[in-house]
Every structure is written in C-alpha cells, then in structure tokens.
Structure 1
C-alpha cells in the first residue's frame, strides 16, 4: 500500500473523527440554545446553497423522503421554508428559504463558523494556511 503506514492512518482517522465530533457537539449545544437541531441547520444550509428538490435534500441528509416531508411541513409552519410548484414538472415542487429562514440559517452558519474558529485559534496563521492547503488537497479542491 502506498502512503503513510497503517498505524499513522489510524491515528489521523481517529484525530479527524475526534475533531468533527467535538465541532458537532459544540455546534449542537449552541444551536440547541437557539431552538435548532443539527439536522434543521443542515437542511436550511442546503437550501441556502441552492439545493431545492426534496429528493436531493433527502439524499444529502441521508433521510427518507417521508422524514424530509415532515421536516418541510414543520419548517413551513414555522415560516422558515416555502414551496413553489416546479414550472418544469407541475407534479413536483421546489423549496426556498423565507426571509425568516434566511436569518435563522445565517445564525446557524455563524454557530458552525464560531465553533471551527475556536479550534483554529489554537494554530498559528502559518499553520492555519497549511491546514487549509492540506484539507483542500484531501477533498480534491484547489485553494491559494
């Protein structure tokens, strides 16, 4: 096998998982104080990114269509989401954030960014840039 030795791979995987777990826990607690779950925050974030088809949202959330349907109904009742008939297929609908939904989504995004920023504050500016470059390579993107 090319690449780092298996014990180092295992250690890096455990550290990566521990970081993500810590970030999710911190975000979950902060979002909970705002009355929002991680799933709802993720849903609103996907809508803000332009994912507007319920089937695609279900796939990205790893949820069943009925779970997404219930979530959409609840978010509609709260005035965060609205449906529009798909002009290309009148049997389907598209989702979008309301102004209130956009506000909540931005607050949820800030919670996530703040949790991550707290962790990054432990690094020097050079380490942050190196971390960014390494993450970009690992996910296949190209950054500065």
Structure 2
C-alpha cells in the first residue's frame, strides 16, 4: 500500500493543524487567566509528571537550557516551583512544585480538559470512541 491519495493527506494535514492551533489558542487564553504562558504551564505539567532536572526540561520543551533557566526563574518568582540542590552533586538541582504550584497546575489541567472537552463535545458518543481509536492507531509506535 502506497498510502492515501495526496489531496486527502493535504486536507487532513490542514485540518489537523487547524485543530491544533485552535486548541492551543484556547489553552493560551485559559492559562493567561492564571498569569502563565503555554511554556510555563508545560513546565509545571512536566515537573508534576516527574521531570526533575532542568536539562530534561530543555529536552522535553526542545529549547536551549538558558531558556529553561528563564522559565524556572519566572515560576520561582511566582512561588510555583522551587529548585533543590542535589545532595550528592551540588552542581545539579532538582525541581519540585510548591503547594501553590501544585494547586495552579491542577487548575491548568482542569482548564485544558475543559478546552479540549468543549471541542470533543461536538462529536456524538460513537464518533468520540472512533476518534479515540483512530488517535491511538496514529500515535502508537511502529510495530516490528
């Protein structure tokens, strides 16, 4: 199989990009109500999920370490995150959410689910299940 016809691929590409832009624009608005950017919200999410080193954040965000440093400084200033020195290697720091950061991250997660849920609400229950199955198929790793 050579894949779907090029015009269909092009149309699906445009629609996928449009959905992504729409969701990100709405998430940006929701996160701004908390006084945070998309990147700051993503840092909080990643730290909650267990990313504890600034170098790993840079990899996940696909940015330079200096950009991560600025993000961390702004989140520390807002008392949402703290850097703790590594007990074995004083050159390294570990990141952790403050109680305030945990609460803000929870609200951001709820805001994202509301944004995404509003778009998904346009689908019928059977369409939702089909959409889920299609997304799983498209995002699962290559089978060898």
Normalising to structure 2: TM-score of the pair? 0.92
- The answer for unaligned runs of 5 or more in structure 1 is none
Q: Deviations over 1:91-131 (max 9, x none)?
A: 21110111100111111111111111011101111110110
Q: Is 1:66 aligned to residue 66 of structure 2?
A: yes
The structural deviation recorded for 1:5 is 0.9
The structural deviation recorded for 1:2 is 1.7
In 1: Cα distance, 2:109 partner to 2:88 partner: 31
- Paired residues of 2:28 and 2:37 also in contact (CA < 8 A): yes
Correspondence 1:34-113 to 2 at 5 A? 34-113=34-113
Divergent runs of 4+, >3 A:
none
- Paired residues of 2:34 and 2:104 also in contact (CA < 8 A): no
SS of the residue corresponding to residue 122 of structure 2 reads coil
Aligned residues: 141
Equivalent residue for 1:11?
A: 11
In 2: Cα distance, 1:33 partner to 1:66 partner: 26
Correspondence 1:18-37 to 2 at 5 A? 18-37=18-37
Normalising to structure 1: TM-score of the pair? 0.92
SS of the residue corresponding to residue 50 of structure 2 reads coil
